[in-house]
A and B are shown apart, each in its own frame.
Chain A
Amino acid sequence: MTRQTAAQYRMRVWLLMAVYVALIFFVWPYAKTAASLPLRALFALLPTVPVIAVVAVMMRHVMRSDELEQRIHMLALGIATAIVCVGSLVGGFLAAAHVIVLGGDVLLWVFPLVCVTYGTSRWWLVRRYGGAGCE
């Protein structure tokens, strides 16, 4: 990996997340009030565009990382996936048994939850391998 790309990567992610927040605040509310169904679908799905772009930027970053960094990314992603999958399964079973009530919008929390658990796992793994911080 070219070492100088870390700052560029961070800037791209922050920029795309800023676009995402702007869409959530200024566009997504119209998803509930727009007159036609296609327009509602368009407004509802528009915030996913910067998220998909973030995923693409992250994938490129991982591919350009060196072998230890890639190992850390993959382990962190594995831990995050396992935690979120088990959490979803527990929630799903409890909801199916009518123990708890979950609306469909709970799915909105899957991606942020993966990001948080991935970030935490990565921080822990970087420390475990003797690193000082996350890139």
Chain B
Amino acid sequence: MNNRVRELREGKGWSQGELAERLDVSRQTVNAIETGKYDPSLPLAFKLAKLFRKPIEDLFDPGE
């Protein structure tokens, strides 16, 4: 699944560590989401959407 988490995070000027802290997850989890190695659960995806004030479909694209 493709996502815009890195783009939105950088837009806010946050480091991966800062975003991880806001989401209460590890930096490794943020990195894995950004690089597409891990698709977050629905609650975490909603947490991300709420944090960036975007609809969830703006953040994640199921692709093919």
Q: Please, how many angstroms separate the alpha-carbon atoms of A135 and B33 in the complex?
A: 18
Within 8 Å of chain B (Cβ to Cβ): is A111?
no
Which residue on chain B has the smallest CB distance to residue A6? B26
Interface residues on A, range: 10 to 19
Give every chain B residue within 8 A of A85 (Cβ-Cβ). Answer: none
CB neighbours (8 Å) of A66 from chain B are 24-26, 29
Interface residue from B21, B24, B28 paired with A129 (Cβ < 8 Å): B28
A130 in contact with B32 (CB, 8 Å) = yes
Chain A residue with Cβ nearest B35? A130
User: In the bound complex, do residue B26 and residue A135 qualify as a contact, i.e. CB atoms below 8 Å apart?
Assistant: yes
Question: Are A130 and B37 in contact, with the CB atoms below 8 A?
Answer: yes
Contacts of B41 in A (CB 8 A): 67
CB <8 Å contact, A126 and B24: no
Q: Mark B28-42, 1 if CB is under 8 A from A, else 0.
A: 110110010110110
How many residues in B have their beta carbons less than 8 Å from beta carbons of A?
Answer: 15
B32–A129 touching, CB < 8 Å: yes
Let me know if A68 and B35 touch, CB within 8 A: no
A65 to B24, CA, bound (A): 10
Q: Which of B26, B37, B40 contacts A69, CB < 8 Å? A: B26
Contact A130 B31 (CB under 8 A): yes
Bound Cα distance A66, B27 (Å): 10
- Any A CB within 8 A of the CB of B44: yes
For A130, the chain B residues whose CB sits under 8 A away are: 28, 31-32, 35, 37
Q: Tell me whether A68 and B24 are in contact in the complex, defined as CB-CB below 8 angstroms, given that A129-B37, A130-B35, A130-B37 are known contacts.
A: no
Cβ < 8 Å to A, chain B residues 12-60: 20-21, 24-26, 28-29, 31-32, 35, 37-38, 40-41, 44
Interface CB pairs A-B, < 8 A, 16: A1-B25, A3-B20, A3-B21, A65-B26, A66-B29, A67-B40, A67-B41, A68-B26, A69-B26, A71-B38, A126-B28, A129-B32, A129-B37, A131-B28, A131-B31, A132-B28
